[in-house]
Structure 1
Amino acid sequence: MNIKNRLTKLEQIIRPQQTPLVMIKFEDDWSPEQQQQIDAAEAQGRMILKVVFVGGKQDDNA
């Protein structure tokens, strides 16, 4: 096992992987509370999943 693999394994033991932050956008902008959570997660280096619902194209043939 090379040194890089050993360091990676040690890092995983010392700092377990954090769960991603899931944010759902309901309005045009993120709420202040959501933005604060996003900023904190970015500072921690966490993965952030941003869910944005968009209106679909309506079928003119319907």
Structure 2
Amino acid sequence: MKSISGKMLCKIVERQGWVLKRTTGSHHIYSKEGVDVILSIPVHGNRDLPKGTLRSILKDADLTENDLE
């Protein structure tokens, strides 16, 4: 799986229609109209997200690895 930073993942989910609701510390909280899931994306500078964290966020957002491009 391709690794990306939290900052880059935020840009990707925003392109998919997710809206930033608030920032709590270093976590950006996103929601989407018609979806009951809340996304919490850790943004620690340009540090890559751990693979398990990235996989979990992609699953919650109903995205695939191909959407990361």
TM-score range, shorter chain: 0.3 to 0.5
Higher normalized helix content (fraction of residues): 1
Which of the two has greater strand per residue?
A: 2
Bigger radius of gyration among the two: 1
The TM-score with structure 2 as length reference comes to 0.30
